[in-house]
Amino acid sequence: MAELNSHWLRSFTVLCEEGHFTRAAERLNMTQPGMSQHIAKLEQHLGKSLIERDTPGFVLTDAGEKTLAMARARWREEREFLDSLEDEGEDRGVISVACSGSFAMLLYPSLIAWMAEAPEISALLTAAPEESIVSGVLAGTFDLGIMGDAVRHPRLTSEHLGPEPLDLVLPLEWDGRVPEFEDLQSLGLVQHPDGATYADAVLGANFAEDYRGAEQLRVRSFVNQIGQIPAAVAQGLAYAILPRSGVLAFPGREKLSIAPFPKPSVVQLHMIALKRKTRSPRIEKLAGLIREEVGKLTF
pLDDT one-digit tens code per residue, 225-266: 888 999 999 999 999 999 999 999 999 999 999 999 988 899
Q: pLDDT band at residue 168, thresholds of 50, 70 and 90?
A: very high
Q: Which of 176, 181, 149, 153 is nearest to 164 (CA)?
A: 149
CA distance 280 to 42: 34
Q: What is the pLDDT of residue 79?
A: 72
Three-state DSSP at 247 gives helix
Q: pLDDT band at residue 93, thresholds of 50, 70 and 90?
A: confident
pTM: 0.71
CA distance 179 to 169: 11
Average pLDDT over residues 133-141: 90
Q: What is the pLDDT of residue 299?
A: 58
Residues 289 and 107: beta-carbon distance below 8 Å: yes
Residues 136 and 13: beta-carbon distance below 8 Å: no
Residues 123-132: tens digit of each pLDDT: 999 988 888 8
Residue 16 Cα distances to 135, 139, 167, 195, angstroms: 9, 11, 33, 25
298 has pLDDT over 90: no
Domain 91-299 has CATH 3.40.190.290: yes
DSSP 239: B
Three-state DSSP at 153 gives coil
* Fold observed for domain 6-79: Arc Repressor Mutant, subunit A (1.10.10)
**Comma-separated ranges of CATH 1.10.10.10 domains in the chain:** 6-79
Which of the pair, 103 or 28, is modelled with greater confidence? 103
DSSP 179: P
114 has pLDDT over 80: yes
CA atoms within 13 A on the CB side of 270: 17
**Comma-separated ranges of CATH 3.40.190.290 domains in the chain:** 91-299
